[in-house]
Amino acid sequence: MSKKLTGNQIRQDFIDFFVEHGHTAVPSMSLVPGGDATLLFTNSGMVQFKDVFIGTDTKPYKRAVDSQKCMRVAGKHNDLEDVGRDDTHHTFFEMLGNWSFGDYYKKEAIAWSWQLLTEVWGLPKDKLYATCFKDDKGNVPQDDEAADIWKQQPGFDPEHVLFFGRKENFWQMAEFGPCGPCSEIHIDLGEERDNLRGTDHVCGVNGECTRYLELWNNVFIQYNLFEDGRLEPLPAKHVDTGMGFERIVSVLQGVDSNYKTDLFTGSLEVLRSLTGHTEKEMLADFTPYRVICDHVRSAAFLIADGVVPGNAGRNYVTRMIIRRGARFGTKIGLNEPFLAKVAEAVIAEYGDFIPNSKRIRRPF
Ligand code: SER
């Protein structure tokens, strides 16, 4: 299907592709969104560009590409309950994004996502689907423009354009602020990846099973949503895309779990050496392993951004995650302190990409 690339190469491929298309590579912002009282943590790539969208800030570039550190443990986007239960959610994750600030719009954004996925990474065209916005409340126009652009992509099956409503295809970072219709790219991973096979369920894009995986969201930011519900056009139109880094790595590495990618190999090995489990035993009771790997990674990145464990707000979340990680350790027989050992593996994996992470030494 595709070349076997490491996670680090995949992140670099994404950045290089958009730099070649005139984007400036920008660093991830901190997990602590300075000056934004609406958010506890940076929860998406657009946080560092919110003021540019609203028109109260400018950048020295019109196109950008980045891999943003995100936490989704509170507020509008909270994935905590899914972590450990499934193979695709995290409290901390990276979001690969390309950005247009009043520059290119749907035509280029869609064409480039198609090229990167199918030409650079060689994903099978007939397995990819695109969803577009159709307002279930009937207030915002249907996004036929995006749907038509999808149908023009070489090798794209026009039947694979699907329309969904506000829940799936309208993106807002918070309860109000810049927002717009979005177009998501999903991949059909094959019947064998349907975890509900044989049951009566919705087996399709945005359905109930794990066969169809959302990979990439292209958001077309064109409105500002006010607290009183008013939706006003922004002074300019923008593109905000977000691809779950861990998910694309799992697809390109051909594994059925984000936790089986090379991003987590080191952490899992440390844990397995502590529990003495064989790989088979580990996979038979994978939930504690997933939770611990996820939570240690989150705690390490939070501490690297200066959020130490404490009693309130962000500090409380850091403490909660650490305690939760330790608690799941007891489920696999780890009753002595072990989290710092796993953190060493996180630092080894991420040290080159995130400079701050190399400063973490024995965070807990
Ligand atoms: N803001 C969108 C998301 O987080 C795309 O980056 O999914």
Cα–Cα distances in Å, from 18 out to 26, 59, 109? 11, 17, 10
Atom from ligand 1 closest to the CA of residue 45: 6
> What single string gives the DSSP state of each residue in 182-195?
EEEEEEE--GGG-T
Residues 309 and 285 in one domain: yes
* Residue numbers of the domain that contains 341: 261-359
Cβ(214)–Cβ(204) below 8 Å: no
CA-angle at 291, arms to 287 and 297, nearest 5°? 150
Instruction: At 357, list the tokens.
Output: 């992470």
Residues 171 and 42 in one domain: yes
pLDDT (0 to 100) of residue 362: 43
> What single string gives the DSSP state of each residue in 231-281?
EEEEEEEEEEEEEEHHHHHHHHTT-SSGGGSTTTHHHHHHHHHHH---HHH
190: left (phi over 0), alpha (psi -120 to 50) or beta: left
pLDDT (0 to 100) of residue 130: 98
Distance from residue 282's CA to the centre of ligand 1 (Å): 33
Ligand 1 and 13: CB distance under 6 A: no
pLDDT (0 to 100) of residue 360: 46
Cα 142 from Cα 132, distance rounded (Å): 8
Ligand 1 and 113: CB distance under 6 A: no
Cα 144 from Cα 142, distance rounded (Å): 6
3-state helix, strand, coil in the chain (%, to 5): 40, 20, 40
Residues 32 and 131 in one domain: yes
Tens-place pLDDT, residues 51-92: 898 889 999 999 999 999 999 987 777 888 888 888 999 999
Which of 230, 252, 274 is the endpoint of a domain?
252
Cα 147 from Cα 160, distance rounded (Å): 10
Atom from ligand 1 closest to the CA of residue 173: 1
Which of 222, 252, 282 is the endpoint of a domain?
252
Instruction: At 159, list the tokens.
Output: 């039947």
Ligand 1 and 240: CB distance under 6 A: yes
Atom from ligand 1 closest to the CA of residue 77: 4
Residues 69 and 141 in one domain: yes
Residues 47 and 131 in one domain: yes
3-state secondary structure of 35: coil
Low-confidence ranges of the chain (pLDDT < 50): 1-2, 360-364
Instruction: At 100, list the tokens.
Output: 């247009």
Residues 248 and 337 in one domain: no
Residues 232 and 270 in one domain: no
Instruction: At 34, list the tokens.
Output: 């300075």
Cα 162 from Cα 144, distance rounded (Å): 11
* Number of domains within the chain: 2
Instruction: At 108, list the tokens.
Output: 């280029």
Ligand 1 and 223: CB distance under 6 A: no
Ligand 1 and 185: CB distance under 6 A: no
Residues 180 and 267 in one domain: no
Atom from ligand 1 closest to the CA of residue 219: 5
> What single string gives the DSSP state of each residue in 77-123?
EE-GGGBTTBSS--SEEEEEEEEEESS--HHHHHHHHHHIIIIIS--
pLDDT (0 to 100) of residue 175: 81
Cα 317 from Cα 187, distance rounded (Å): 33
Residues 246 and 265 in one domain: no
The residues that bridge with 188 in the sheet, in sequence order, are 212
- Which helix (H) or strand (E) covers residue 216, if one does? strand 212-225
Ligand 1 and 241: CB distance under 6 A: yes
2 in any annotated domain: no
Which of 223, 252, 281 is the endpoint of a domain?
252
